[in-house]
Amino acid sequence: MSEEKKAGRRSGNPDTKDDILTAARDLFALNTFRQVTIRDIADRAEVDPALIHHYFGTKRDLFHDAVDLPLDVADRIRAGLGDVDLSEIGHHVARTVVGVWESEHSDRLLAIMRNALADPAQTNLLRNIFQEQVLRAVKPVLEGRVDRIELRVSLIAMHVFGLVTTRYIIGLEPLSDLSAGELIDVLGPDLQGIVDMEL
C-alpha cells in the first residue's frame, strides 16, 4: 500500500478538483496569498500536493481560479439602471453593491480584497475588478447626462472600495454593526452626491 493511501489521502477523483478549489477559497479568504501554502491547501482538501500542481499549475494559477468572481457585478448594477431616474442611481448602486457583499459569495470577494491589499502583485487584479465591475456598469448610464464621467465613476469606486475595506475587511464599528438596509440608506446618498455634484 502506498504512503499516500496509508495517510488516508485521496488520489484523483471526480470531486478532487472541486475539493481543492473549495479549500483554496476558504484559506485565501482568511489569509494573504503569501501565508497560504500548497501544503496548507492540500491538507485542507485531503489530497496529495502533487494533485494541486497537476490540476492548476502554480499557487498563483490556483488563486486566480479559486477567487474567480462568482457573478457579474456589472450586470447586476446595470440591470434596471437604464430605466432608473438620474436622482436614484446612487441608491441603486448602493443596494446592488451591499447585496453582493452580503451574499453567499462574500468569501470569494474577501479573498480577492485581502490578497490585493497585502500583496502588490495582486493590485492589478483588484484594479481590473473595479474597472470591469463598477466603471463598466455605471459609465454608460451617466453618458449624456452628466459631465466628467470618468472622475465621477472613479469617485463612486472609491466609496465602494472604502466601504468594503472598513466594513468587511477591518470590521470598523459601528459601520460593521449596521444592517444591510441601514448601510444602503447611508451609502446611497453619498453615491448620489457624486452623481449630482458640480465638478
Same domain, 12 and 50: yes
pLDDT at 61: 85
Shared domain for 37 and 106, answered yes or no, is no
What value does the mean pLDDT take over residues 38-64?
A: 92
- Is the pLDDT assigned to residue 1 strictly greater than 50? no
Helix (H, G, I), strand (E, B) or coil at 40: helix
In 3D, which of 93, 112, 130 has the Cα closest to residue 168?
Answer: 112
Domain range holding 40?
A: 3-66
Query: Residue 25's closest CA among 141, 149, 114, 143?
Result: 114
In this structure, the answer to whether residues 48 and 122 fall within a common structural domain is: no
Does the pLDDT at position 122 exceed 60? yes
Q: pTM of this prediction?
A: 0.67
Kindly tell me if the per-residue pLDDT of 5 is higher than 90: no
Radius of gyration of the CA atoms of the chain, in A: 20
What whole-number distance in Å separates Cα of residue 36 and Cα of residue 59?
9
> Would you state the pLDDT for residue 149?
92
The residue with cell 484594479 is 127
Indicate whether 184 pLDDT > 90. yes
Q: Which three cell numbers mark 23?
A: 479549500
Same domain, yes or no: 127 and 39? no
Cα–Cα distance measured from residue 37 to residue 57, given in angstroms and rounded to the nearest whole number? 13
For the cut 60, the answer to whether the pLDDT of residue 46 exceeds it is: yes
Residues 26, 111, single domain; the answer is no
End-to-end CA distance of the chain: 72
Residue 6, pLDDT score: 36
Shared-domain flag, residues 130 and 189:
yes
49-56 vs 59-66: helix axis angle to the nearest 10?
Answer: 70
